[in-house]
Amino acid sequence: MSRPSPVDRPVLVLDFGSQYVQLIARRIRERHAFATIVRHDITAERVRELNPLALILSGGPSSVYEDKAPHCDPRLFDLDIPILGICYGMQLVCEALGGKVLPHAHREFGRAELRVVAADEPLFQGVPESTTVWMSHGDQVKDPGGAFLPIAATSTCPVAAVRHRDRPVYGLQFHPEVAHTPYGALILGNFLDRVCGSPGTWTMDAFIDRAVADIERQVGPTGRVVCGLSGGVDSAVCAALLTRALGQRVVCIFVDNGLLRSGERDAVSEAFGEHSSAELRVVDARERFLSALKGVTDPQEKRIRIGHTFIEVFRHEARSIPDARFLAQGTLYPDVIESGGSPDAPAATIKHHHNVGGLPAELGFELIEPLRDLFKDEVRRLGLELGLPESLVWRHPFPGPGLAVRVLGEVTPERLDVLRQADLIFLDELRIAGLERQIGQAFAVLLPVQSVGVMGDGRTYENAIALRAVDTDDFMTADWSRLPHEVLARASTRIINSVKGINRVVYDITSKPPGTIEWE
């Protein structure tokens, strides 16, 4: 597992329940500093061990004056480490160091005009005296206390930013991490560069060098690594990084389960068969998977059968590889956070680890996760640095059970073929319109619904296709994409004219929550 080098002293982001906490960490990394998310109640002793460059206290839904409101270890303020409090984090900082926080009659949710009252402050270097920021608060710092100097305000929030008079402690009532605050990235950069003295060494080139060294050290001079390829970007980049470190000692196993997108098998074979020194084994298990799914309509039962079949197929192939002692997984940093996979991670577990769970133990392999420090956008940049084709790096996420969870109802070869054709047309129209990379995920779903239509002079009674496209940064929440009507019209026309058996196309405008991104 790659760990940051000593020059990459981490920025610790203390999580107080903010919906933007991962976004804060990503924005810090975009400024070439290594950021990691930790529990809000991390102890001062543990912080000393981690030797951070800075602490950032996130926002959160609580009020600091409530009995059960989350607080940090008060000893953190005595460590002489630069601290930036954001929203709830600012209120917490001010309250802890002598200020007073109260509910306010004028709540601010959305855009607000910020007036910088201390332009010479390091935090606001290069920021206009008047600028737009994104607010989301009902409480305010009523009295910052004698220790803090107000350095910005809005029309209804006199204390919208503060600086401690004697310590390297700052607070922002607004959210600099969101795109709705145009100068937010500059403000965070000023904190890192001008207050913390960040060396700016968190880059993909540096990550590759450290990751390669870590992989070589873990695997040793003779060990071999098995890497399961799914066709998605995470496993592809994981395999490419391993190959950079170990060359032919990496064996990639790609299981064709018959549930792949159009062209998936060929794309993987080209990327790793022709342009990589890794050994690629393609296992044709289509009949086996489709047989296991015959007659099954319950989505959970589909997942269970696909999972069991995959383990059996993968286990048989992996055990035939001599000297293989390691199994690689494309685990990403959000997976680590959400599964509680780190002792310092926030306590609330949002979901169970969703990668190839159970395989290392069942196969007797040691697990290796070279991407576990990275966010998805960093993985894509890493893939490009490693020479993977853009068509593979920018593929939209794909569920582990494949098209089985996008064919609602029974999965058959005929229904899969219909879905593949419709999905390919939809994605092609997004590419033509230049929208593919702006969208977090897009796909088609074959519904178990037939409806009446008219084609030519005859009535039809055929299937419906639902199109789904979402905008998201972290896939934990997502909003439906406002696609241009002409793009949807072209996709619908092509699907109905080209895909036999489809006479109706609908567009899903459900966000997550309340819905999920996938339908099953």
C-alpha distance across the termini of the chain, in Å: 33
The answer, yes or no, to whether residue 215 has pLDDT greater than 80, is yes
* pLDDT at residue 337 is higher than 60: yes
Distance CA(325)–CA(367), nearest Å, equals 9
Q: Which residue has better confidence, 183 or 67?
A: 183
- 353 near 339, Cβ under 8 Å? yes
Taking the C-alpha atoms of residue 243 and residue 395, their distance in angstroms, rounded to an integer, is 21
The average confidence (pLDDT) of the chain is 88
Instruction: Please give the pLDDT value at position 329.
Output: 87
- Considering the candidates 95, 175, 252, 429, report the single residue annotated as catalytic: 175
Residue 196 is among the residues annotated as catalytic for this protein: no
- Supply the pLDDT for residue 417: 96
Does the structure show a pLDDT above 70 at 362?
no
Dihedral over alpha carbons 51, 196, 59, 177 (to 10 degrees): -120
Q: Tell me whether residue 177 is one of the annotated catalytic residues.
A: yes
Per this entry, what is the length of the chain? Answer: 520
**Whether pLDDT at 343 is above 50:** yes
Is the predicted pLDDT of residue 81 greater than 80, yes or no?
yes
**25-39 pLDDT, tens digit each:** 999 999 999 999 999
The pLDDT assigned to 353 comes to 36
Instruction: Determine the pLDDT at residue 119.
Output: 79
* Helices assigned H by DSSP within 14-132: 21-30, 44-50, 88-96
pLDDT of res. 397: 84
Query: pLDDT class for 347, splitting at 50, 70, 90?
Result: low
**Known catalytic membership, residue 275:** no
* Marked catalytic residue, from 121, 177, 317, 338: 177
Residue with tokens 């290392």: 360
pLDDT digits (tens, 9 = 90+) for 234-260: 888 999 999 999 999 999 999 999 999
Please report, rounded to a whole number, the percentage of residues in the chain having pLDDT higher than 90: 64
Q: What local confidence, expressed as pLDDT, does residue 476 receive?
A: 67
User: Closest by alpha carbon to 244, among 332, 354, 371?
Assistant: 371
Q: Is the pTM of this model over 0.85?
A: no
Look at residue 365 in the predicted model and tell me its pLDDT: 84
146-150, 279-283, 321-325, 421-425: segment of lowest average pLDDT: 321-325
pLDDT tens for each residue of 505-516: 999 999 988 888
- Burial degree of 268 (CB within 10 A; 0-12, 13-18, 19+): buried
- Place 274 in a pLDDT band, splitting at 50, 70 and 90: low
Query: Is the pLDDT score of 473 beyond 50?
Result: yes
User: What is the rounded average pLDDT of the residues 330-338?
Assistant: 81
pLDDT band at 114 (very low <50, low <70, confident <90, very high): very high
Q: Which residue has the higher pLDDT, 187 or 335?
A: 187
| pLDDT over 70 at 406, yes or no | yes
Catalytic pick from 87, 157, 227, 252? 87
What is the structure's pLDDT at 1? 40
Burial class of residue 501 (count of CB atoms within 10 Å of its CB; 0-12, 13-18, 19+): middle
Q: Which of 82-96, 150-164, 452-466 is predicted least confidently?
A: 452-466
pLDDT at 2: 45
